[in-house]
């Protein structure tokens, strides 16, 4: 029996409708984005975020800066957005050009306006079990698991990938849902020994097809966060044959991707509520 498809698009549409109502109730929310340089992929991501934000009734500011901007100048621009009482949420699109310290720029964003959830204060709150502003992709993964009523309490969960943006926050959220969590990464030996134990497998390695069907426990829930462009089109980190083994599987595209943008909008509403007490 083929795995049930975990439809991220449908859930994301419902979340965006809820966000639209919240924005209306708040009297408006303003999201400011900062894009440095002319990276094509980053430009696409920013445009999609603005389209979604505007459709939900946000006021959106799109700040474009040249790749030649100095780090002190960029920090001044971020400080100005922090001080702007009309701005509720700030997003600095990554990656930044060479010569700019990304960690320093992330730390410069007001933690209450940190819509990405990357600031060390928000990361620390998550680590301590007090999640406030959580990276949107991680938030989206947990929302999908809850939507499809996947049992997490006592489950064995394996996360492949340890980035601060996806892998680590997903692992922390799973642990807080009472799963027993293992994090695997590029230095993990015998990866399949771990993945075959997983009741819930989240793959966020950024490597096309790194997890094959024979690495998946029969009946497991598989969340594929990865997306790569190949000659065959867009593919995930999990081989599509996983549908013959898993009980639930996210499609690529159409799974985690739409959830990331929807949950980013949720975070922007959280920012607005934090700032308004």
Name the E strands within the chain: 4-5, 30-36, 59-65, 89-92, 156-160, 180-184, 200-203, 221-224, 228-230, 233-235, 248-249
Contact criterion met (CB below 8 Å) for 271 and 89? yes
Helix (H, G, I), strand (E, B) or coil at 7: coil
**Rg (alpha carbons) of the chain, rounded to whole number:** 19
Contact criterion met (CB below 8 Å) for 171 and 165? no
Per-residue tokens: 183:
């994090």
- C-alpha–C-alpha distance, residues 239 and 210, integer Å: 7
Active-site choice (88, 93, 199, 266):
93
Per-residue tokens: 240:
């599509």
Active-site choice (116, 199, 237, 239):
116
Per-residue tokens: 66:
């040249």
Helix (H, G, I), strand (E, B) or coil at 238: strand
Closest CA to 198 of 172, 171, 173: 171
Q: Is residue 49 annotated as part of the catalytic site, yes or no?
A: yes
Q: Is residue 93 annotated as part of the catalytic site, yes or no?
A: yes
Q: Which residues are catalytic?
A: 49, 93, 116
């Amino acid at each position: 029996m083929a795995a049930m498809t975990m439809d991220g698009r449908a859930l994301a549409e419902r979340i965006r409708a809820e966000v639209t109502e919240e924005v209306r109730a708040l009297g408006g929310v303003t999201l400011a984005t900062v894009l440095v340089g002319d990276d094509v992929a980053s430009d696409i991501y920013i445009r999609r975020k603005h389209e979604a934000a505007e459709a939900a009734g946000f006021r959106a500011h799109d700040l474009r800066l040249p790749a030649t901007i100095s780090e002190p100048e960029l920090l001044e621009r971020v400080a100005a957005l922090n001080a702007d009482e009309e701005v509720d949420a700030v997003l600095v699109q990554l990656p930044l050009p060479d010569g700019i310290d990304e960690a320093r720029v992330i730390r410069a964003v007001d933690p209450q306006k940190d819509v990405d959830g990357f600031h060390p204060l928000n990361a620390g709150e998550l680590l301590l079990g007090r999640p406030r502003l959580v990276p949107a992709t991680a938030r989206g993964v947990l929302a999908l698991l809850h939507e499809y009523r996947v049992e997490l309490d006592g489950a064995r969960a394996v996360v492949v990938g340890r980035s601060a943006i996806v892998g680590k926050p997903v692992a922390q959220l799973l642990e807080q849902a009472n799963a027993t969590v293992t994090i695997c990464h590029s230095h993990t030996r015998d990866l399949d020994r771990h993945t075959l134990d997983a009741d819930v497998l989240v793959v966020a390695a950024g490597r096309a097809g790194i997890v094959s069907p024979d690495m998946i426990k029969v009946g497991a829930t598989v969340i594929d966060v990865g997306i790569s462009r190949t000659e065959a089109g867009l593919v995930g980190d999990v081989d599509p044959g996983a549908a013959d083994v898993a009980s639930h599987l996210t499609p690529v595209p159409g799974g985690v991707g739409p959830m990331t943008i929807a949950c980013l909008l949720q975070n922007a509403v959280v920012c607005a509520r934090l700032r308004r007490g």
